[in-house]
Amino acid sequence: MISELIKSADIPANIKEISLKVLNSVRITPGEGVILYREADTSLLALLADQVRKRTVGNYVFYNRNVHIEPTNICVYDCKFCSYSHHQSKESWELTIDEMVKTVVSLGDEITEVHIVGAVHPGRDIYYYAGLVKRVREARPTIHIKAYTAIEIEYMAKRAEMSFKAALQLLKDSGLNSLPGGGAEIFDDAIREQICGKKSSTEAWIEIHEVAHQLDIPTNATILYGHIEQFEHRIHHMNLLRELQDRTGGFNAYIPLKYKSKNNEMSYVGEVSLIEDLRNYAVSRIFLDNIAHLKAYWPMIGKEMAALSLAFGVDDLDGTINDSTKIYSLAGAGENPSLSSDEIRDLVIKAGRVPAERDSVYNIISEG
């Protein structure tokens, strides 16, 4: 039915051809992805993304009960887009292992996942972070531990003179369950040199996630968009992820992260519009045909925008978070990042979808 409407619609022939490929589950090319970014009507992108979402995950919108722990914001890197590290923030902190374990224990059954991500501290090595994971595992044997970006792991491994495989195996043996997707930023060497020149390369990020998948450690993937990149860079970034997913199948979700301009060296760039955010979700859903879940990280874009994103291919809203992350509040996101399970369910129901509490690898715990 929708295919027939597209065939008869008064839209450019190239957009019509791409649209029909999407509706017929035919993979689009990187060049076609760029065309969608540049030329497709926003309402058409929403329609196409929603169709892909429906056939991939149905009408579910997923969330979990989680807490974020940020061990430190003291960082060896000084990325120009970052408002979080001690280089830019007016505050700095170093939590102890005891403090972090106490947080996890204090929340009890309120949470099923702990998400541990922070800055790359110059004085902490892989044995410190493996020890943290081990202590959390001992305190909460059944909790899912999602911890450490590829950027953190690369530094840990190099400092210990270990291979990525050995470092990841040590973390897994200590109790690590999965990796978040942070630190990817944008997979273009020239842009990385301008915005985060000292940080890990594209090749290192890809290799660490590929090795993790080989060790049966699932991961997420992110992109930092809305700064100095072009549409071609976004598509190239997603294409590398799509190719890796073809090889390993190890990605759980893709998370577009919007560049926020407050309190960092790139504030002059400004921020892209809310319409551009929605278009970016839609193209991401369409292009990444082999990553099942598209997440709108609501502390970054706000609750109202997260609800709107559900019409543009998004099927996951992250979790309750318990006011436990400063990464985007320091960059001007403007909300206390905490939602109860009831608030998330109400948001999803009002959007006409079915809320589904999930575990960290998308098994449904409860729905409705």
**Rounded CA gap, 76 and 155, in Å?**
10
User: Which structural domain range is residue 274 located in?
Assistant: 2-367
Angle at 277 between CA 65 and CA 78, to 5 degrees: 75
Is the overall model pTM greater than 0.95, yes or no?
no
**Do 325 and 68 form a contact (C-beta atoms < 8 A)?**
yes
Read off the pLDDT of residues 61-84 as tens digits, 9 standing for 90 and up. 999 999 999 999 888 888 887 776
Read off the pLDDT of residues 285-309 as tens digits, 9 standing for 90 and up. 999 999 999 999 888 888 889 999 9
**Rounded CA gap, 266 and 251, in Å?**
30
CA 127 and chain centroid, separation: 26
Q: What is the mean pLDDT of the chain?
A: 91
What pLDDT shows up at residue 90?
65
- SS3 state of residue 222: strand
Residue 257: give its domain's CATH number: 3.20.20.70
Q: Is the pLDDT of residue 321 over 70?
A: no
Read off the pLDDT of residues 333-366 as tens digits, 9 standing for 90 and up. 445 556 788 888 999 999 999 999 999 999 999 9
Q: Which residue has the higher pLDDT, 350 or 200?
A: 350
Instruction: Please count the structural domains in the chain.
Output: 1
3-class SS string, 153-183? HHHHHHHCCCCHHHHHHHHHHHCCCEECCCC
Q: Is the pLDDT of residue 323 over 80?
A: no
- Give every CB contact of residue 359 below 8 A, 6+ residues apart in sequence: 64, 112, 113, 144, 365
What pLDDT shows up at residue 149?
96
What pLDDT shows up at residue 355?
96
- For residues 125-150, average pLDDT: 97
Read off the pLDDT of residues 245-301 as tens digits, 9 standing for 90 and up. 999 999 999 999 999 887 788 888 899 999 999 999 999 999 999 999 999 988 888
Read off the pLDDT of residues 160-190 as tens digits, 9 standing for 90 and up. 999 999 999 999 999 999 999 999 999 999 9
